[in-house]
Amino acid sequence: MTTLARRERHALCDLVLALGPTAPTLLDGWDATDLVTHLLVREHSPLGAAGLLVPPLSGLTDRAMARRRRQDPAALVERLREPGATPYALPGVEVLANTLEYLVHHEDLRRAQPGWEPRRLDPVDLDLVWRLVSGMGRLLVRPAGVPVRAVRSDTGAAVTLRRGPDPVVVTGPVVELTLFLFGRDAVRDVVLDGPPDAVTTLREADLGL
């Protein structure tokens, strides 16, 4: 069975082709082609991707993306469609490293378009997304510096992302919680409860990686 990561990859590629290379995204200053080049550099340019992990090296990433962007946009999309010879194509790595990456970036493109609506994912896919975001949630909320607990509204399952007294409780559908924790504003039905100052701090924090 095709992984959610691979399905999100293909759906993102299809949407870029349908909307065009200059379609807007939720990422400030980035269009669809920037999103594609970011993903290609991440997977196929180890030196260029260094800036994604080490901010002082961001110039390497910017230059690698600029070189990619000079290529034909449709060719870039087709290069992205199949991962090819990259560690990210290994089954275990693909699930762990690409599921949330492609889900979030697919939504970055979807939700920047007029009239977007949340999608309905299969319950098995939702459970996978929940496990992954629960596992990395501590890193995602670290910039806020306040205790946080996440609750999925469909099942009531909860996870503590940052320990401490009087946590902010973030409740919502799995995909909406994921996007919120990755610092996206275009979410629906996400509710924050807790000390007002902590809620404000979490809302205004630069969440994500």
Domains, in order of start, for the chain: 4-110 (no CATH), 123-204 (3.30.1050.20)
* pLDDT for position 46: 63
Q: Dihedrals φ, ψ of 70, to 5°? A: -75, -10
The owner of tokens 């946590």 is: 167
What pLDDT is recorded for position 66?
78
Q: Tens of pLDDT along 139-162?
A: 999 999 999 999 999 999 999 999
**Mean pLDDT confidence for 81-93:** 86
Contact indicator for 76, 68 with CB cutoff of 8 Å: yes
Q: Is the dihedral of CA 120, 184, 105, 23 positive or negative?
A: positive
**Residue 48 confidence (pLDDT):** 55
Look up tokens 């087709």; give the residue. Answer: 78
- Distance of alpha carbon 38 from alpha carbon 178, whole angstroms: 20
Q: What is the pLDDT of residues 44-84, one digit of tens each?
A: 876 555 556 556 666 667 787 778 888 899 999 999 998 88
Task: Supply the DSSP symbol for 119.
Answer: -
**Which has the minimum average pLDDT: 89-98, 113-122, 171-180?**
89-98
Spacing of C-alpha 68 from chain mean position: 21
The confidence score (pLDDT) of residue 90 equals 87
Under 8 Å between Cβ of 26 and 112: yes
Q: Mean pLDDT score of the chain, rounded to an integer?
A: 92
User: What is the percent of the chain with per-residue pLDDT over 70, rounded to a whole number?
Assistant: 92
Residues whose CB is less than 8 angstroms from the CB of residue 175 and which lie 6 or more positions away in sequence, other chains included: 103, 107, 118, 119, 121, 126, 129
d(CA 157, CA 191): 15
Q: What pLDDT score was predicted for residue 91?
A: 82
In contact, 91 and 97? CB cutoff 8 Å? no
Residue-level pLDDT at 123: 97
**Tens digits of residue pLDDT in 28-40:** 999 999 999 999 9
Pairing of strands 191-193, 168-172: antiparallel
Whether the predicted model's global pTM rises above the 0.85 cut: yes
Helix, strand, or coil (residue 159): strand
CA 177 to chain centre: 11
